[in-house]
Amino acid sequence: MPKPVIETVGLTKVFRRTGVAANRDMSLSIQAGDIVGLLGPNGAGKTTFVRMVMGLLRPTAGSVFVLGEDVQRYPTFPATKIGYYGQRALYLWSYKARELIYHTARLRGIPSAVARRATDDLIETFGMEQTAGRLMWHLSGGQARLVALCAALVGIPSILVLDEPTNELDPALRQRVWTYLLDLSQHQGVTILLVTHNIHEAERVLDRVVILDAGEVRATGTPGDLRRRLGDEVRLELKVVGGIDGARAFPDILGQAGAREVRRDVWWVYAAREMLPALLERVLSPESQAKLEDYRIVPPSLEDVYVRISSKGWE
């Protein structure tokens, strides 16, 4: 079996000041060419994990190996092999967009001509021709984030670690990013570890998913494996009429454990397929229709797996 590109063994991080255990005993391995998504609620430890992989944060216990090298021993090694995109915005306001991408390529050791070409290609790919010559100071938040992402992508040897790469990007750009990452993985063999909340969009590119919660790995597998673990369940979405308390209006459906109001007036509840006819009869009754604006039946998705793990834990 080929050596993993990234491997962690019992990786643990406890922040001394707060006593918070951001990562507990995490052991993962990522093979070459895979796109692995780290999912989890806010505060699950995703960013902490990727920062330790990058050698930017010292672990409390455990080991990280990048291409077989122990990052604890050689903390600067990941920087020589990995293109990193951090979670927070990059406040390098004095750079022009093109300069930031080109300079990053040069600092990665890419010769001048190749760096220029790579910069131009990325600018063209993501439609940044109008903004390439502007100062980062003058760009919108989303535009600046895109430039920072391109700086991470330019001149990447074989590994990318991207922390929420589509944050603040418009839907069209997000699609372009996902397509680009998929192309890198499938045609260039680039290994990608990414953190994302955009599960719905990321699902189509991920080879494997790791779901974290409270610093621990709760589930891991391909998106299909994880969806199948939901078994025969489907998701019923109900949008109640504004101002109505859904749990009171539908105590037999929305008043049960497992039902969640995911946003105002919109409820999700998971049910076995054999329960569907009875549920639909209830939902379609005239009495219910008066209290509902909309309803949907949705086959299980990665988002559902994520929500289920976050809400009740994985058995």
Q: Select 106 or 291, whichever has its Cβ closest to another protein.
A: 106
CB 47 within 8 A of CB 163: yes
The verdict on 190 binding another protein (CB under 8 A) reads: yes
C-alpha span between 37 and 282 (Å, rounded)? 38
Distances (CA, A) of 152 to 51, 146, 160, 272, 289: 14, 10, 8, 44, 51
Q: Select 188 or 256, whichever has its Cβ closest to another protein.
A: 188
The verdict on 86 binding another protein (CB under 8 A) reads: yes
Site for another protein in 93-132 (CB under 8 A): 93-95, 99, 103-111, 113-114, 117-118, 121-122, 125
Q: Which of 32, 92, 230, 266 binds another protein (CB under 8 A)?
A: 92
**At its nearest, how many Å lie between another protein and the CB of residue 17?**
6
Site for another protein in 33-52 (CB under 8 A): 51
The verdict on 254 binding another protein (CB under 8 A) reads: no
Token digits of residue 243: 């101002």
Distances (CA, A) of 150 to 4, 155, 157, 162, 276: 26, 10, 14, 11, 46
Residues 6+ apart with CB under 8 A from 59: 11, 12, 13, 23, 52, 72
C-alpha span between 192 and 205 (Å, rounded)? 10
CB 271 within 8 A of CB 236: yes
Site for another protein in 147-176 (CB under 8 A): 148, 151, 153-157
**At its nearest, how many Å lie between another protein and the CB of residue 133?**
13
Q: Which of 56, 244, 247, 275 binds another protein (CB under 8 A)?
A: 56
Sign of the Cα torsion 145, 206, 52, 26 reads positive
Number of residues that bind another protein (CB under 8 A): 55
**At its nearest, how many Å lie between another protein and the CB of residue 90?**
6
Q: Select 100 or 309, whichever has its Cβ closest to another protein.
A: 100
Distances (CA, A) of 297 to 225, 244, 305: 21, 21, 16
Residues of this chain that bind another protein (CB under 8 A): 15-17, 51, 54-58, 75-76, 78-80, 82, 84, 86, 88-95, 99, 103-111, 113-114, 117-118, 121-122, 125, 135, 137, 148, 151, 153-157, 184, 187-188, 190
